[in-house]
Amino acid sequence: MSAQDGIRFTMWAREDYPIWSLPALEAAKCVALQGDDLFERVHLLLFEAFFGKGINIGNREEVIEVVRGAGVEMDQFLEDYDGGTARAQVLKEYEEAITTYRISAIPTVLFDGGRKVVGATSLDEYFKVLATMGVS
């Protein structure tokens, strides 16, 4: 799957809807320590896991399985993840999202000029915003 393919949304069918995404956010930050390409891959896989496959990204073990399938150096990842290496950065960015950017929902995409697209929406909606900005 590539970013151009998008993520296909599937309604949540399990009884354990995640109440937070901190485990997934921390995992992504820990993977970023291993490189931007791995981060991009895991970031997309985590979105796909939650929105498309019904994987609980609030559950540490399920997050680890998503990461495991991405070609990450797992010993280093687990050391960073279990050690809380990324937690402070994740919490700092969370606070910044709320106070500076007034983010109230995930996903929210910020565009230049302050335009926001809030919530899961179609790829066409993003193209419409980009078109109003003169980007094709």
User: Does residue 2 lie within any of the structural domains?
Assistant: no
Considering the domain architecture, whether residues 28 and 61 belong to the same structural domain is answered as: yes
Instruction: Annotate 104-119 with DSSP letters as a single string.
Output: -SSSEEE-GGG-EEES
**What predicted TM-score, i.e. pTM, was given to this entire model?**
0.76
Q: Render pLDDT for 8-47 as a digit per residue (tens, 0 to 9).
A: 778 888 899 888 899 999 999 999 999 999 999 999 999 8
Tally of structural domains, the chain: 2
User: Does residue 85 lie within any of the structural domains?
Assistant: yes
User: Does residue 111 lie within any of the structural domains?
Assistant: yes
Q: Render pLDDT for 63-110 as a digit per residue (tens, 0 to 9).
A: 999 999 899 999 999 999 999 999 999 999 999 999 998 888 878 888
Considering the domain architecture, whether residues 57 and 74 belong to the same structural domain is answered as: yes
Helix, strand or coil for residue 56? Answer: coil
Considering the domain architecture, whether residues 121 and 66 belong to the same structural domain is answered as: no
